[in-house]
């Protein structure tokens, strides 16, 4: 059971940060799993639940995949549609009085805001990682092209009667043949990907 209360929350320059990131992650996982499991228990599809909540199906899908969480007012509506309580959705036991029947909206909003901040930060880190991988790929492609330009297929002049040189020369020739045909497309795709990740910031 995950217990999240105000003692776990620190206010730092106006941003709410949990001092126990593991508990926060567990809470987010529990929330998405509870939404998915309770929806299935009610026999509802994502589309049907979305219609009841006046949101698009992709929104429900993001909740269930842990890509975002509903805000406090939506969480209350969600609990009502799933025939449960906010306590259960947030992973609180029924006996736990951390959240009573008079739901503390401010506390819920704080929890959800922190989870959304964590998800946004995680998403930003993934985008940065993809961007640097694409940048590195572009550098490697350019470096290999320069290397081939300097070599000017010198390996074709090797003594192919020598088995070792024959194998090495054949492999280099095969690699160059494939590389010069695929690399330009990979380079263009990488540049497009880099531009796209900057637009996602």
Highest mean pLDDT: which range of 29-33, 108-112, 197-201:
29-33
Domain ranges across the chain: 6-122, 126-199
CA distances from 150 to 56, 109, 144, 182, 183 (A): 56, 61, 10, 20, 17
Q: How far apart are CA 161 and CA 37, in angstroms?
A: 67
Angle, helices 72-81 vs 46-53, to 10°: value is: 120
Three-class SS of 112-166: HHHHHHHHHHHHHHHHHHHHHHHHHHHHHHHHHHHHHHHHCCHHHHCCCCCHHHH
- pLDDT value of residue 185: 93
Check: pTM over 0.75? Answer yes or no: no
Which of 38, 37, 149 has its CA nearest to residue 84? 38
Question: How many Cα atoms sit within 13 Å of 177 on the Cβ side?
Answer: 7
Looking at per-residue confidence, does 49 or 201 come out higher?
A: 49
Dihedral over alpha carbons 68, 70, 14, 117 (to 10 degrees) = -10
- pLDDT value of residue 61: 92
With a cut of 60, say whether residue 137 has pLDDT above it. Answer: yes
Quick one: average pLDDT of 102-116?
66
Q: Which of 30-39, 72-81, 152-161, 181-190 shows the lowest mean pLDDT across its residues?
A: 152-161
pLDDT tens track for 62-103: 889 888 888 878 888 898 899 888 778 877 644 444 444 444
pLDDT tens track for 23-69: 566 667 778 888 999 999 989 999 999 999 999 999 999 889 888 88
- According to CATH, the topology of domain 6-122 is 434 Repressor (Amino-terminal Domain) (1.10.260)
């Amino acid at each position: 059971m995950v217990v999240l209360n105000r003692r776990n929350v620190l206010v730092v320059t106006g941003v709410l940060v949990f001092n126990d990131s593991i508990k926060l992650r567990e809470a987010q996982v529990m929330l998405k799993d509870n939404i998915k499991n309770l929806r299935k228990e009610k026999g509802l599809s994502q589309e049907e639940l979305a219609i009841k909540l006046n949101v698009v199906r992709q929104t429900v899908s993001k909740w269930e995949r842990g890509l975002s969480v509903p805000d406090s007012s939506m969480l209350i509506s969600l609990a009502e549609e799933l025939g449960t309580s906010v306590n259960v959705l947030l992973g609180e036991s029924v006996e736990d009085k951390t959240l009573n029947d008079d739901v503390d909206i401010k506390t819920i909003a704080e929890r959800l805001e922190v989870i959304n901040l964590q998800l946004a930060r995680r998403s930003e880190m993934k985008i940065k990682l993809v961007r640097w991988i694409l940048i590195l790929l572009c550098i490697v492609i350019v470096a290999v092209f320069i290397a081939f330009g300097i070599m000017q297929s010198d390996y074709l002049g090797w003594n192919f009667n020598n088995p070792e040189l024959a194998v090495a020369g054949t492999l280099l020739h095969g690699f160059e043949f494939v590389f010069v045909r695929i690399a330009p497309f990979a380079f263009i795709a990488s540049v497009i990907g880099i531009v796209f990740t900057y637009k996602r910031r």
